[in-house]
């Protein structure tokens, strides 16, 4: 799963947007070192054939769900079952997004304790996370990250990882509705690309924010 993100470095996020000819003005960017589900984030979507950067909420409850069916919003979707689950299958077919982030967090169990890790890419300051998106009845967007089996590097930390889309594949990911193509995107990235750094337990508390989360 992926339950926490680091979206704190504007220059890194802007590097990714530069590949797409987009700009996120720094005055609209709020550094968030410990992004948890239900937080407000920025996501890339196709709007009337144009690539746009839109505010959205991480996590959603399907509009058809009866009250009490979901105790908390859905914030991860497994790629292996995304075409079958009622909560996801219509969204993956037509409504996909990219969440630009600097990295994500995952925890390794060591006995009764859990050790926090920050995972980013070695050669890029930002990472493009594959997601599905829906429009809430009130008109704002909500997203859910897609996860896949961990690659060899991540296996020592966790058995899942977010789906990562390469910058030159982002527009195709957002526009190509072919299941065969989308399934090729929803695979673990090759080994050797992740930078996995153990960090302190400060990040464990979702109320904590700031550079201390990466210490």
**What global pTM score does this model have?**
0.96
Compute and round to an integer the Cα radius of gyration of the chain: 16
Report the pLDDT value the prediction gives residue 10, as an integer from 0 to 100: 98
- Which residue, 148, 154, 150, 155, is CA-closest to 130? 148
Domain boundaries, the chain: 5-214
**Which of 11, 106, 115, 185 is flagged as catalytic?**
106
Based on the residue annotation, tell me whether 149 is a catalytic residue of this protein: no
- pLDDT tens figures, 104-116: 999 998 878 889 9
Architecture of domain 5-214: Alpha-Beta Complex (3.90)
Residue 48 has pLDDT above 90, yes or no: no
Say whether 185 is catalytic: no
Give the DSSP per-residue string, 201-214. Answer: GGGGSTT--SGGGG
């Amino acid at each position: 799963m992926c339950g926490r993100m680091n979206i704190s470095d504007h220059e890194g996020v802007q590097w990714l947007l530069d590949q797409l000819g987009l700009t996120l003005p720094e005055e609209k960017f709020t550094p968030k070192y410990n992004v948890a589900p239900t937080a407000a984030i920025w996501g890339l979507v196709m709007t009337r054939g144009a690539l746009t950067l839109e505010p959205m909420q991480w996590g959603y409850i399907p509009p058809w769900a009866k009250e009490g069916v979901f105790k908390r919003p859905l914030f991860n979707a497994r790629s292996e079952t995304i075409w079958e689950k009622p909560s996801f299958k219509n969204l993956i077919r037509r409504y996909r997004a990219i969440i630009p982030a600097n990295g994500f967090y995952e925890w390794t169990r060591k006995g009764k304790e859990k050790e926090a890790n920050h995972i980013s890419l070695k050669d890029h300051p930002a990472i493009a996370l594959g997601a599905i998106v829906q429009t809430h009845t009130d008109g704002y967007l909500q997203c859910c990250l897609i996860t896949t089996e961990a690659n060899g590097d991540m296996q020592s930390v966790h058995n899942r990882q977010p789906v990562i889309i390469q910058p030159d594949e982002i527009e195709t990911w957002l526009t190509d509705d072919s299941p065969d193509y989308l399934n090729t995107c929803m695979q673990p990235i090759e080994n050797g690309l992740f930078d996995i750094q153990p960090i302190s337990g400060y990040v464990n508390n979702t109320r904590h924010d700031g550079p201390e989360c990466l210490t």
